[in-house]
Amino acid sequence: MEKQILKVVKIGGKLIEDENKLREFLKDFCALPFPKILVHGGGTMATKLAEKLGYDTKMVDGRRITDANSMKVITMVYGGLINKNIVAKLQAIGTNALGLCGADAGSIVSSKREIKEIDFGFVGDIERVNTSFISSTLQQNITPVFSAISYDGKGELLNTNGDSVAAEIAKAMAGIYDTELYYCFEKKGVLTDVENDESVIEDIDEQLYRQLLNRGIISEGMLPKLQNCFEALNNGVSKIYLGDSNLLKKNAVHTKIVK
């Protein structure tokens, strides 16, 4: 018996801030066949609020250093403002959504990242995903909407890369569903020239990925995104796509990650 297709869709922070693009994207998401899961970031919004509060934001290789003050801002912005706004908008257009972070029903448990060369602070590396809870939610025709926050099982919330959250959910659910992973951000896909939005690479396998890395074409925020893509592809996820807010539309320009 064939597995049912489950689409796991991640939307990035810059798209979330654009009301028009967000509204159009959520319509496209609503039109996707069920079951589906939405994961959202919100880094740019969190950074702006942190600045207003007088907190510095530090990034290393596209990943945020999260001190105690930053974690408070992230919880407010990701788990509160953004998550509940998205859920309200989805409800309004016919998708029965439930806003979640990793602490809810123990859905995403992480360990605090070990200090090696860099102390990332309150950052979580995902250890396990509660597939039975997520499955039961889907079986009730409810669409989970996850913010990029996990927890350690001991009462501590942890900032967790949103791309990693989406990839780990897709990997974990691959035992139950035929999972597909979609990364929606501000670009049409992976570009050979960041200044040229039309320079989209249609297909990337691991060999080409290594070449692009060596040539310095892939850097900063795209690094963890593509690392997650190949790890997911090698761990049961059947299809992975990257593109802009139009990614869920038919015939959209995009990058596909292939073996």
Is 42 annotated as ligand-binding? yes
DSSP summary character for residue 105: G
> What does the pLDDT look like over 164-197, one tens digit per residue?
999 999 999 999 999 999 999 988 988 888 888 8
Distances (CA, A) of 137 to 95, 103, 140, 189, 247: 13, 15, 5, 31, 25
CA distance 3 to 176: 7
Amino acid letter, 63: R
Q: Are strands 5-11 and 203-204 parallel, antiparallel or unpaired?
A: unpaired
Is 43 annotated as ligand-binding? yes
CA distance 190 to 254: 8
> What does the pLDDT look like over 106-164, one tens digit per residue?
999 999 999 888 888 999 999 999 999 999 999 999 999 999 999 999 999 999 989 99
Which of 49, 75, 74 shows the shortest CA–CA distance to 63?
74
CA distance 37 to 42: 17
Q: Is the domain 5-257 a CATH 3.40.1160.10 member? A: yes
> What does the pLDDT look like over 13-66, one tens digit per residue?
788 988 999 999 999 999 999 999 999 988 788 888 888 888 877 777 667 789
> Any idea which residue has 């070990």 for tokens?
114
Question: What residues does each domain of the chain span?
Answer: 5-257
CA distance 136 to 120: 34
3-state secondary structure of 147: strand
